[in-house]
């Protein structure tokens, strides 16, 4: 396998991993599952105690529906970028993924939510959601690293002053 083929295989594996994690979580977010109610309810209570009630509520600016929609957009854009061989699109989607998942990691670490999340059956998840979030962040960062030259070239072309 050539270096380019290996690189492409790695990009595909990272893309599929991120899309899988995000897409499989949509069922929970969009059906208002007990796990989702616990996560976003805990975050909303925390935000309310800081003077921002409703921030994570079902109609709040950071509700499960808003977060889920961002994850869906990131997943679809990553996959479209990979299929259409558009590295700039794939890199931009990886940056969106990093942004979304950075929020998740922050809230796991710095709020009452914690690293271990309560399951619907009353057990703790052992940090599984947090570990998946970290995996998505690392995978997104790797895609950005592997494709950053394409994004920088694209940006330079658009930001260059017009020739006279």
Task: Indicate whether 164 belongs to any domain.
Answer: no
Q: What is the per-residue pLDDT across 89-146, written as a single tens digit (0 to 9) for each? A: 999 999 999 999 999 999 999 999 999 998 889 999 999 999 999 999 999 999 999 9
How many domains does the chain divide into? 1
Closest by CA position to 64, among listed 47, 92, 39, 93: 39
pLDDT of residue 163: 59
Buried/exposed code over 16-50 (b: 16+ C-beta within 10 A; e: otherwise): ebbbebbeebbebbeeeeebbeebbebbbebbeee
Q: What is the pTM of this model?
A: 0.92
pLDDT-based confidence at residue 160 (cuts at 50, 70, 90): confident
Q: What DSSP designation does 58 have? A: T
Task: Indicate whether 114 belongs to any domain.
Answer: yes
Task: Indicate whether 9 belongs to any domain.
Answer: yes
Task: Indicate whether 111 belongs to any domain.
Answer: yes
Q: What is the per-residue pLDDT across 43-86, written as a single tens digit (0 to 9) for each? A: 999 999 999 999 999 999 999 999 999 999 999 999 999 999 99
Euclidean distance between CA atoms 90 and 109, whole angstroms: 28
Residue 87 has pLDDT above 90, yes or no: yes
Domain that holds residue 41: 3-159
């Amino acid at each position: 396998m050539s270096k380019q083929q290996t690189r492409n295989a790695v990009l595909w594996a990272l893309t599929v991993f991120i899309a899988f994690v995000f897409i499989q979580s949509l069922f929970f977010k969009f059906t208002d599952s007990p796990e989702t109610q616990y996560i976003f309810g805990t975050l909303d209570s925390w935000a309310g105690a800081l003077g921002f009630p409703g921030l994570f509520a079902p109609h709040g600016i950071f509700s499960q529906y808003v977060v889920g929609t961002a994850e869906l957009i990131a997943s679809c854009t990553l996959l479209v970028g990979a299929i259409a061989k558009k590295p700039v699109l794939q890199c931009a989607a990886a940056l969106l993924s990093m942004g979304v998942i950075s929020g998740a990691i922050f809230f796991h670490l710095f709020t009452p939510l914690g690293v271990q999340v309560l399951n619907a059956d009353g057990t703790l998840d052992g940090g599984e959601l947090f570990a998946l979030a970290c995996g998505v962040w690392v995978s997104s960062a790797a895609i950005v690293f592997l494709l950053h030259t394409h994004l920088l070239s694209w940006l330079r072309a658009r930001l260059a002053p017009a020739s006279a």
